[in-house]
Chain A
């Protein structure tokens, strides 16, 4: 059956404007909840990028006791080189360490004057064969207990902390998104039911003269869809805003050096927008279907 496009457009527009306050309320709720959906996806992707970066080529540094003798140093070296889990161990000698140190504390003259090369521990930069967090953590724990080892530094602890933090933030966002999505579904449902109630006489006449349920339903469903899509578009705008905001935050925050790896690239933003868009359509079409079905059953 041909549905008159002009009729559908007119009726949808009339429904949307008749109940402007409810329409605005639904659009805003959809907007907020979908923004959180978008943020959830961004944080999730960022956290994934972060751990992936550390998981690829994660190194750890074994510092040798500063007063270790040549033979003790050799022991540590053989232990590292003979370990089947280790791909490469590079020795950083005193001069090199001191050069790095000078580089690091450039301009801080008191620091440079008081520290001599002999005070600094030499170290091995170790690249394990298997770079998963668990393996690295195992190696780190092993070398911490070895004699003549001053300290072992690895990023794994920090990664664990970061992961814990992002997981927590993610769960928080996930649940708030869930509750808000439920709220927006109910609001759209209610808006449409109000619109249908306001037009119950027209609907009654339409049924009596033989309009199909789909014909009656389409303008109301479109009303729900329009609300969802406007809310979704605003939320996609918010996703881009979040992205810019996170970038700014990372660029300014020197203290957050580790967070530099918390990057969000173009494909992550696209993924977030995709999720927001799909959720918007599913949510609005679903709630309009429920709303119109309940009203049209004879």
Chain B
């Protein structure tokens, strides 16, 4: 599903964010990216949905070299990749329902699809009762659920999560992880960057560890370190 071939990313001033990374992630896998801040986890995530371009090497998503992709095709790549962030990126002037519907609306989905999909996904993340609330009326965990609902409502092949539990307490984090696990079991490939040792150790999924831009460990059913 995802393949990195010798991928490097060098930012201005010779800051190496990723150094000759090689890895392959299969369809339906759940992968943790671990490592200290600045080790290249976020860069790797941003490379996968073409928010950044690699300095060298190739990245394949669903069998296609995304470096070869015309810029007008990038939106269509992104429709297959859901994104979840530490800071949720919800629109504060829209309700829960509108935030999720917005993701379908702006990719031109017809209204009847929106009307059936949005309530279904809100039911899945457990927020059906709060669909009329605004993001600032919700707890952090609830906001992250909205953000996951928005990322998943279009049923993408891949879900990228960049420290989704970074702002949440351990108990709430467990709830979020259960949700991501559930999404993974529908066949969606999940790639999650995290600092959270206990989550990685409990889930026992594949772990890719980065250090100063290099992949130093790639372990099936691994632990944090």
Contact = CB atoms under 8 A, between A and B. Distances in A.
Interface in B87-124: 89, 91, 102-103, 105-108, 110-111
Interface residues on A, range: 20 to 34
Interface stretch (A34-42, A92-100, A108-116, A199-207): A199-207
B76 A210 contact: yes
A208 B78 contact: yes
Contact of B105 (A7, A207, A212, A213): A7
Is chain A's interface secondary structure helix, strand, loop, or mixed overall? Answer: helix
B79 A209 contact: yes
A211 interface: yes
A209 B151 CA distance: 7
Contact of B51 (A2, A215, A298): A298
B61 to A, nearest CB: 13
Interface in B197-223: none
B188 interface: no
Contact of A208 (B89, B105, B111): B89
Contacts of A211: 75, 106-107
> A7, A209, A216 — which one has the most chain B CB atoms within 10 A of its CB?
A209
A158 interface: no
Contact of A210 (B51, B71, B75, B91): B75
Contacts of B76: 210
Which of A2, A204, A210 lies at the interface centre, i.e. has the most chain B CB atoms within 10 A of its CB?
A210
Interface in B132-160: 150-151, 154
Contacts of A216: 106
A209 B108 contact: no
Contacts of B151: 209
A66 B31 CA distance: 115
B51 A4 contact: no
A104 interface: no
Contacts of A210: 75-79, 107, 154
A134 interface: no
Given A209-B154, A210-B75, A210-B76, A201 B106 contact: no
Residue with the greatest number of chain A CB neighbours at <10 A, chosen from B71, B78, B106, B107? B106
B83 A208 contact: yes
B191 to A, nearest CB: 15
B91 A205 contact: yes
A201 B111 CA distance: 23
Given A1-B108, A204-B89, A209-B106, 6 more contacts: A205-B91, A206-B102, A207-B75, A211-B106, A213-B72, A213-B75
